[in-house]
Amino acid sequence: MAYSQAMKRLDWIPALALNSEPVDHQHQHLFEIYNSAVDYEDDLLDTEGVLGQLFDYAQFHFRDEEALMESVGYPPQALEAHKRLHRGFVQRLDTLQDAPAWELLDYIREWLLRHIMAEDSKIGRFMREQNRAGVE
């Protein structure tokens, strides 16, 4: 059975945007990598390769996102909490290495959506508030 029959693709919608072009582009690329894993038919080896690519790209993205948060003066406690969420994601991916691909894909899908909507949206709000207050 194709993963795409069991798993849902991630579709980027404008409501997910933080209005930070680099971060939004990286989020969209994470969705693209995830979707390419979902689209694989029964080729587990290729799926694992795509999931490895997602793992590597997520770590690159997390570094960029955290650097952005620091550069805009994001509150230190909130930044540290956000970094812990990123580390937790990477650690959980590591523990799921031997899990069935569908389980790993399900975790990634749910985490990405929840994290962007609930946590990353806070970054966007903070940056908009800073802009309204005239803070550079």
Q: Return contacts of 63-69, CB within 8 angstroms, 24+ apart.
A: 64/22, 64/23, 64/26, 65/23, 65/26, 65/120, 65/123, 68/20, 68/22, 68/23, 68/123, 69/123
Range of the domain at 57: 20-132
pLDDT digits over 9-36, tens only? Answer: 899 999 999 989 999 999 999 999 988 8
pLDDT digits over 104-129, tens only? Answer: 888 999 999 999 999 999 999 999 99
* Selection from 54, 56, 59 nearest residue 40 by Cα: 54
Model pLDDT, residue 46: 59
Which CATH number goes with the domain that contains 84? 1.20.120.50
Q: Is residue 10 part of a domain?
A: no
40 in Cβ contact with 6 (< 8 Å): no
Q: Is residue 14 part of a domain?
A: no
2 pLDDT higher than 60: no
122 in Cβ contact with 78 (< 8 Å): yes
Number of domains in the chain: 1
Stronger pLDDT, 84 or 136, i.e. the higher one: 84
Give the global pTM.
Answer: 0.86
Phi, psi of 15 (to 5 degrees): -65, -20
Q: Is residue 13 part of a domain?
A: no
Q: Is residue 119 part of a domain?
A: yes
* Selection from 60, 4, 67 nearest residue 27 by Cα: 60
* Selection from 95, 34, 36, 84 nearest residue 62 by Cα: 84
16 in Cβ contact with 116 (< 8 Å): yes
